[in-house]
Amino acid sequence: MIGVINSLLLDYVKQKYGESMLQELVAHPVVPGDHQFRIDTYYSDSDWEELYHKAVNMVGIDREEFEWDFGYFCGDALVNQFPGFVKGCTGARDMITRQPKIHNAISHSLADHDAQKIVNNKFMLEEQGDKIIMHYVSVNHMCTFYRSLATWVGEHFNEQLSINEPRCMKQGHHECEIHVQYTK
């Protein structure tokens, strides 16, 4: 995982569940001593999964519910913390197609070529008329997060989106296939 998502998780826990819950989470050994995750640094997926599971377990809600809420939080946070992410976007489609490009561009700043490959292989976008198909492959199984973020994007641009996931790694498929259909 690229450090921005790790940082957003810490921000989410603090804002949604309070400072004491954050302090319990940052005590986890995978969190850097200064509690700062870098955007230009790759953090192992297994470390992310440990930290994420700890956050979900601390909060005590279903992982899917947590992940959906975290996706919405990240939409708001990305607009506020990284306004360049949405600058110049003309609508939901523009922002949704931009996400894997930014994700993969950030990977080029990683010094470790194996980490670059891992990051680059997580997302592949396919455009078909008024539909985008996101192919997502990750041991983290964060497809609910992605669907939530795409839903947030539609709401942010006041556009109707239909989102479904006919294939999901959580159901034993080799990838998650998320269809985003633009409706009028």
Q: 160 in a domain, yes or no?
A: yes
Q: What was the pLDDT predicted at 40?
A: 76
Q: 100 in a domain, yes or no?
A: yes
Residue 51 and residue 100 in one domain? no
Lowest mean pLDDT among 2-6, 39-43, 72-76, 166-170: 39-43
pLDDT confidence band for 42 (50 / 70 / 90): confident
Q: 82 in a domain, yes or no?
A: no
Residue 110 and residue 176 in one domain? yes
Lowest mean pLDDT among 22-36, 92-106, 144-158: 92-106
Residue 95 and residue 55 in one domain? no
Q: How many CB atoms lie within 10 A of CB 161?
A: 19
Residue 94 and residue 43 in one domain? no
Structural domains in the chain (count): 2
Provide the residue range defining the domain that includes 114: 89-183
Q: What was the pLDDT predicted at 107?
A: 67
Q: 69 in a domain, yes or no?
A: no
Residue 49 and residue 127 in one domain? no
Residue 119 and residue 174 in one domain? yes
Residue 49 and residue 128 in one domain? no
User: If we measure between CA atoms, which residue out of 160, 166, 153 comes closest to residue 71?
Assistant: 153
Residue 50 and residue 107 in one domain? no
Residue 97 and residue 170 in one domain? yes
Q: 77 in a domain, yes or no?
A: no
Residue 174 and residue 93 in one domain? yes
Residue 94 and residue 58 in one domain? no
Q: What was the pLDDT predicted at 38?
A: 84
- Contact (Cβ atoms closer than 8 angstroms) between residue 21 and residue 56: no
Looking up residue 122, the CATH number of its domain turns out to be 3.90.1520.10
Q: What is the pLDDT of residues 94-141, one digit of tens each?
A: 988 887 777 677 666 766 777 777 777 788 889 998 899 999 998 899
β-pairing, 123-128 vs 160-167, is: unpaired
Residue 56 and residue 105 in one domain? no
